[in-house]
Structure 1
Amino acid sequence: MNAELRQLQQQVETLAKRIAPIAWRPTYGYSDDGALPHLEVNSNGMHYVVVERGQEQLRRTTQDADELLYWVFASITFSMASSYEVRHRVPNQDFRRLLFAKQAELLHRLNPAWEARRQQELSDILLEAPFSDTE
């Protein structure tokens, strides 16, 4: 593992401790497959990669460590918020209300700028697909 990748790993692990011990952390420099993200660093930049059943499904590349960390924690907090929502579902309420709120709370604990960024992304989603609570 190169020094840059080791530094990213330390940053991810340090931030992850703020929100809880989690199973959704990426691997570093290799894929466990199964759609668990992994991180790579090479001369082309820092990469967020998802491999499932031996096929690369997603590769995002950046030169900005904060951008890469946002991608990592947007994914992790979404998984955590999804799990939370299932356990705390409110009848007749669009499940996304609780999911989005929990993800925002978790991101805020890591970096308020990440929460603001995700809130904007969610606002864009809700313009296309508004909440739909039932009675």
Structure 2
Amino acid sequence: MPAKSLVILRQKIHQVRDALLAAVRRAGLPDDCLNWLYFADSTTEAFSDGTTITYRDYDPHAPYRYITAERGTIYCDEGAADLHRFLYYPLQDITHYIAGQYELDHRQPDQDFRRILFAKQLKLLAAIHPDYAAWRKAEIDTVLQLHPYRDGAA
């Protein structure tokens, strides 16, 4: 890879990292909630287990990539050309994890755990950007159409 392309790659990855850090801070989350993300600022295509954020300048339709792999198998590969749209993917996962921890601490007997989890996640995403909350709400609504809340189910 030419040196100029490597410089651009590293600039894009730093831009993503800075934008994610600003986003989690807007939601009042700790900086270390980004620790499980691997920011690939080199040209390697080998993805370690876990979640990798990379930038591929040769793909104009989706240069920003969010990849989750385990034992050499890629389970999720989301991409976007727009940074705003791209940031939704890691922020959705980060806020889901935080909301899950919150739900465990505030679980209500005989109430579907998803009520607290979804509400907390939407609140966190709304603090970051209203678009993210709207996109997640649409996904949640689809899930609930197929699998409605089941309060009282043991």
Q: TM-score, normalised by structure 2?
A: 0.79
Partner of 1:90: 108
Match of 1:28 among 20, 39, 54: 39
Match of 2:88 in 1: 70
Report the CA distance between 1:23 and its aligned residue: 4.2
Stretch moving more, 85-94 or 58-67: 58-67
Are 2:25 and 1:17 aligned?
yes
Aligned residues: 133
Structure 2 CA distance for aligned equivalents of residues 22 and 15 of structure 1: 10
Tell me the residue number matched to 2:3: none
In the superposition, the TM-score normalised over structure 1's length comes to: 0.90
- Cα distance, 1:14 vs. partner? 1.2
Q: Give identity over the alignment, percent.
A: 29
2:44 counterpart residue number: none
Q: CA deviation at 1:102?
A: 0.3
Residue pairs, 1:34-49, within 5 angstroms:
35=50, 37-43=51-57, 44=59, 45-49=63-67
Bigger CA radius of gyration: 2
Residues 49-108 of structure 1, C-alpha deviations (whole Å, 9 max, x = no match): 112223322211211111110111111000100111011100000000000000000001
Query: CA-atom RMSD, angstroms?
Result: 1.7
Task: Provide structure 2 residue ranges, at least 5 long, that are not aligned to the other structure.
Answer: 1-8, 42-46
For residues 24 and 77 of structure 1, the distance between their equivalents in structure 2, rounded to whole angstroms, comes to 9
Detail structure 1 runs of 4+ shifted over 3 Å in the superposition. Answer: none
